[in-house]
Amino acid sequence: MHAPSTTTSPARRTDADPHRCRSRGGGTLIIGGGPAGLAVATVLRCHGEDDLEVLDPSGVWLDRWHPRFAAQDIRHLRSPAVHHPHPDPFALLAGSGDGALVRAGQANLPTTTAFARFITALVATLELETAVTPARASRLDLDPSGAVSVTGSDAIVRRPARVVLATNARRAVVPAALRAWTRHPCVAVGDAADVRRTPPGGEVLIVGGGISAGHLALGAIARGARVTLVSRRRLVIRRYDTHPTWLGPRKLRPFAAEPDPERRRRMIDQARGGGSMPHWMRRGLDQAAEDGALRLRQRRTVTAVEPRDSRLSVSLDDDTTAEVDTVWCATGGALDASTDPLCAALRQLAPTPIAGGLPELDPALRWPGTEVHLVGAAAGLLLGPTAGNLVGHRRAAQRIAATVRGEDPARADRLTTGAGACPATAAQRASSTTRGA
Ligand SMILES: Cc1cc2nc3c(=O)[nH]c(=O)nc-3n(C[C@H](O)[C@H](O)[C@H](O)COP(=O)(O)OP(=O)(O)OC[C@H]3O[C@@H](n4cnc5c(N)ncnc54)[C@H](O)[C@@H]3O)c2cc1C
């Protein structure tokens, strides 16, 4: 396997083309090096597609994933070990040693460390380390013929055969009373909330009722803080964020058959049902409440925030007030293709219905009429409520790889295991065995 076959034309600066122009005779440009982008790169490489480049400002794979897991002190994944970016579901299990898995009911969940190790090995085996260019995609343009070009923060204009948008461009959803406070030094929103910044012996107020809020609460309590957890609903207890029946035809067939995108959008919301947390987490919170380290305020919302010396005074809708050292907001985020700047040209030149922020895509997950594929949660109207999870990333990648091979993307959902799942590595192994013999 070799580096992406890009040819760079000589630096040329004209009024019409103010940037250096990198021409690509074909190939795939993936924007975003998170798990969704990695799944696409992996499946393409597994099928011998070497001509790919990834843009991510960090220049590395999974730059958001690893810090998130550290910030929330997450010891193991919520999803089973068969969910990961490799096309063979058993790839992680096959390589996992002692202590790599945590048993939860019938499922084995990979530890955070085992998952990170697996990703490192996967990237190395498929020689994907150098595929990520440290640049942000700042513009995506379509010309009248439908050809797509992407301008990077490195001032290079790329003209690939296809683009995969894997940016997970979520905006944090912040309760109204907190919106004016998001830049206050005592307030952290979304990924900025970090248990390693727990004020020693202090008071932390966490807003949210999902698994991130739970992780943050348990992490802060373990570091000696007293926590108030404010959830607008009763905590919902579930092993997974979406019921596993959504992985099979019983739910996916009627979902796919529903012609109205707005109805499909509602089906996604109902299936995910807002935030939820697994049983073990609820038990931990109950224990902390019994020990006096946690005050659980369910069906409550924050109504006002006021600074008080170096602390914050936070009022709730039951007229109670808590004086705290820090507020962490773990109320999730939302995608919106109707405002995402990288979708502006797509919206203008190739309009498609957008339901609750999600665009209607073709079976290859392309924005209809273009060679721009969308993966991750943005592919929800086609892949259903697990589109933003690891298992959804793999399904998206398989559809795109099938399209590149000229096969029917709608038939790409079948799982393949063993050597057939990743023919390129199987061939690599065979040739090294032959050489070694
Ligand atoms: C704490 C946490 C735990 C989770 N645990 C699980 C789990 O156990 N199992 C599961 O299935 N799912 C889990 N998820 C859900 C999901 O798998 C993750 O959110 C996953 O990271 C989503 O992958 P992604 O690639 O779509 O997005 P991200 O991981 O957000 O990656 C997007 C990447 O795109 C880059 N990017 C953004 N804009 C640009 C641009 N303009 N140009 C170039 N690059 C750009 C970003 O820098 C980033 O690296 C979890 C989510 C969270 C938040």
Could you read off the pLDDT of 183-206 as tens digits, one per residue? 999 999 999 999 999 999 999 999
Q: How many of the other CB atoms lie within 10 Å of CB of 424?
A: 18
CB 191 within 8 A of CB 68: yes
Weakest mean pLDDT among 54-68, 200-214, 341-355, 416-430: 416-430
Q: Is the pLDDT of residue 139 over 80?
A: yes
Mean pLDDT of 129-143: 97
Q: What is the CATH number of domain 174-241+278-331?
A: 3.50.50.60
pLDDT score for 415: 78
Find the mean pLDDT for residues 123-152.
Answer: 95
What is the structure's pLDDT at 431? Answer: 64
Of 142-156, 296-310, 322-336, 423-437, which range is least confident?
423-437
d(CA 242, CA 210): 13
Q: Kindly give the distance from the C-alpha atom of residue 134 to the centroid of ligand 1, in angstroms, as a whole number.
A: 17
For 321-352, the pLDDT digits (tens) are: 999 999 999 999 999 999 999 999 999 999 99
Superfamily of domain 7-171+335-436: FAD/NAD(P)-binding domain (3.50.50.60)
> CB–CB of 158/141 below 8 Å?
no
Task: Count how many Cα atoms sit within 13 Å of the Cα of residue 220 in the half-sphere of its side chain.
Answer: 30
How remote is the CA of residue 308 from the centroid of ligand 1, in Å? 36
Q: How far apart are CA 359 and CA 244, in angstroms?
A: 24
CA-nearest residue for atom 50, ligand 1, is: 389
Per-residue pLDDT, 97: 80
Nearest to 221 by CA among 189, 191, 195: 195
User: Could you tell me what percent of the chain has a pLDDT over 90?
Assistant: 84
Please tell me the distance between residue 155's alpha carbon and the centre of ligand 1 in angstroms.
Answer: 25
What's the CA gap between 397 and 388, in Å, rounded?
A: 12
Q: What is the pLDDT of residue 136?
A: 98
Domain boundaries, the chain: 7-171+335-436, 174-241+278-331
pLDDT exceeds 70 at position 15: no
Whether the predicted pLDDT of 18 surpasses 50: no
Please compute the mean of the pLDDT values over residues 168-194 and round it to a whole number: 96
> SS in 3 state form for the chain?
CCCCCCEECCCCCCCCCCCEEEECCCCEEEECCCHHHHHHHHHHHHCCCCCEEEEECCCCCCCCHHHHHHHCCCCECCCCCCCCCCCCCCHHHHHCCCCCEEEECCEEEEEHHHHHHHHHHHHHHCCCHHHEEECCEEEEEECCCCCEEEEECCCEEEECCEEEECCCCEEECCCHHHHHHCCCCCEEEHHHCCHHHCCCCCEEEEECCCHHHHHHHHHHHHCCCEEEEEECCCCCECCCCCCHHHHCHHHHHHHHHCCCHHHHHHHHHHHHCCCCECHHHHHHHHHHHHCCCEEEEECCCEEEEEEECCEEEEEECCCCEEEECEEEECCCEEECCCCCHHHHHHHHHCCCCEECCEECCCCCCECCCCCEEECHHHHHHHHCCCCCCHHHHHHHHHHHHHHHCCCCHHHCCCCCCHHHHCHHHHHHHHHHHHHHC
Confidence of residue 274 (pLDDT cuts 50, 70, 90): confident
Mean of the per-residue pLDDT values for the chain?
A: 92
- How many angstroms from the chain centroid is the CA of residue 297? 29
Lowest mean pLDDT among 9-13, 149-153, 296-300, 362-366: 9-13
Query: Is pLDDT at 412 greater than 70 in this prediction?
Result: yes
How much is the pLDDT for 98? Answer: 81
Atom of ligand 1 nearest to the CA of 153: 42
Q: pLDDT > 70: what percent of the chain?
A: 92
Comparing CA positions, the residue from 404, 398, 393 lying closest to residue 43 is 398
Q: Which atom of ligand 1 is the closest one to the Cα of 376?
A: 26
Give residue 3's pLDDT: 37
Average pLDDT over residues 27-35: 97
CA of 34 to the centre of ligand 1 (A): 5
Tell whether the model's pLDDT for residue 86 goes beyond 80: yes
Strand partners, 321: 315
Atom of ligand 1 nearest to the CA of 212: 1
Q: What does the pLDDT average to over 82-94?
A: 95
Residue 27 to residue 48: CA distance in whole angstroms: 12
Closest by CA to 63, choosing from 155, 159, 114, 136, is 136
Closest CA to 137 of 341, 385, 368: 341
pLDDT score for 195 = 98
What pLDDT is stored for residue 430 in this prediction?
62
What residues flank ligand 1, with Cβ below 6 Å? Answer: 31-37, 55-58, 63-65, 68, 72, 77-79, 83, 136-137, 166-169, 212, 376, 388-390
Residue 60 has pLDDT above 60, yes or no: yes
Atom of ligand 1 nearest to the CA of 62: 49
Residue 199 to residue 323: CA distance in whole angstroms: 14
pLDDT digit string, tens, across residues 243-265: 999 999 999 999 999 999 999 99
For the entire predicted model, the pTM comes to 0.93
pLDDT tier, 432 (very low <50, low <70, confident <90, very high otherwise): low
Residue 31: name the closest of 129, 132, 161, 166 by CA: 166
What separation in Å is there between the alpha carbon of 166 and the centre of ligand 1? 9
* Ligand 1 atom at shortest distance from the alpha carbon of 72: 1
Q: What is the pLDDT of residues 275-318, one digit of tens each?
A: 999 999 999 999 999 999 999 999 999 999 999 999 999 999 99
Q: How confident is the model at residue 14 (pLDDT cuts 50, 70, 90)?
A: very low
Strand partners, 189: 329
Q: Do domains 7-171+335-436 and 174-241+278-331 have the same CATH topology?
A: yes
Interval between CA 168 and ligand 1 midpoint (Å): 6
Tokens standing for residue 188 = 């952290």
Q: Whose CA is nearest to atom 37 of ligand 1?
A: 167
